[in-house]
Amino acid sequence: MCIGGSLVRLNKGSIIEKMKNQNIKTQTELAEKIDISKSQLSFMFSDEYEPLKKNVIKLADVLKVSPNDIILDEEDQMPINSDFNRYDYKLDEFIDVSNVRKNKDYNVFETFAGAGGLALGLESAGLSTYGAVEIDKNAAETLRINRPKWKVIENDIEFIADNLDEFIDEEIDILSGGYPCQTFSYAGKRNGFADTRGTLFYPYSKILSKLKPKAFIAENVRGLVNHDDGKTLEVMLKVFIKEGYEVYWNILNSWNYDVAQKRERIVIIGIREDLVKEQKYPFRFPLAQVYKPVLKDVLKDVPKSKVTAYSDKKREVMKLVPPGGCWVDLPEQIAKDYMGKSWYSGGGKRGMARRISWDEPCLTLTTSPSQKQTERCHPDETRPFSIREYARIQSFPDEWEFSGGVGAQYRQIGNAVPVNLAKYIGKSLVHYLNQFN
């Protein structure tokens, strides 16, 4: 279940009101009527976890309402710093780009390229990678192995920003990249370019200032929206606007774009002002696809590959967790022993002892497949997902190879932008740029 690209959250106030209407006095009574444990009901109400669709439907049936009556509206799920209303950005424009094709070649210079998820997706949309910057040696080698014709620049991004002419000798249409989310040191009240020194956003914005491409793509974790009380994003938007770009941004859920994973990213698009003045239509983000894949759609006939292993103790615990379940499905004493102090902190982290089911998308993949707080166990086998399963969930093609040891490969895949999400973002840009040719 998904609304406007954001994960579903239950409207607790509405549920309490509906409970009164049905003369249901306690959560224990409500859990019994839904036929789940009280712990599972608490799990559903947590803001850290999206409830299973079947449980939301059962809850709505018990309360004699539609599921939509007990789900938060999108604007209530995604609090935005009110200061953003002062800036020139667009948030809510979408268009179906499924059949978009380029009518001329557009090139891309990518920063923070990683294992190539964003670049590969943009390539699938019809864009050409002119250059890809990546300082991690394993990720850079991954790019070289798979795309030997790409200009892979294995160097420090700050050095590249200072010496850009040494690396680029033609006009660039699109700058792309996912710089890390870092707090800025606010210099007085400027809240602009100078404030970003010492962060990796600074060289990205410096490259943007020098290249002046037609458009740029900047992606980041969803948490950027409220990072440092929204100040971090606020500074970024102001810098982009001062550089002469109209800025569009949105939270996109990968699950809406042919990715079997609930992975939300903030995507910022900038369009150069001279193009905006001549445009026949504005930039729009890609419309969500009708069908949303689940694990069973993408993990068929996966090539064999390396996989990390659970410890014997962890394996015995995970054997007790059913598909779609987590620590709330464990016997209480086993759950307490496994979770340690987390058991006493409001019921523990909701990702602990989590086994994904075939009939749901995976939760966000992390850089390690067996972290205790963010468990992602295989639906049938008691083990983490393998390298190739990880890659499938991130929508990498099977022929895309990853360099380095097992840990390095998991890290590259976990850090990547899902390829199919990037493809739809690229198609939206192609659709916009096509109007000028």
Question: Catalytic site residues?
Answer: 181
Render the burial of 245-281: b for 16+ CB within 10 Å, e for the rest. Answer: bbbbbbbbbbbbbbbbbbbbbbbbbbbbeebeeeeee
How far CA 36 is from CA of 29, 30, 41, 307, 325, in Å, comes to 10, 9, 7, 34, 12
User: Which pair of structure tokens corresponds to residue 265?
Assistant: 């990213």
Tell me if residue 424 falls in helix, strand or coil.
helix
Per-position DSSP letters for 35-94, written without gaps between them: TS-HHHHHHHH-TTSPPPHHHHHHHHHHHTS-GGGGB--HHHHS---GGGGGS-EE---E
DSSP-derived secondary structure letter, 227: G
Tell me if residue 410 falls in helix, strand or coil.
helix
Determine contact, residues 200/247, Cβ cutoff 8 Å: no
Q: Is 173 exposed, middle or buried (0-12, 13-18, 19+ CB in 10 A)?
A: buried
How far CA 195 is from CA of 87, 207, 372, 435, in Å, comes to 18, 16, 37, 36
Determine contact, residues 184/235, Cβ cutoff 8 Å: yes
Tell me if residue 176 falls in helix, strand or coil.
strand
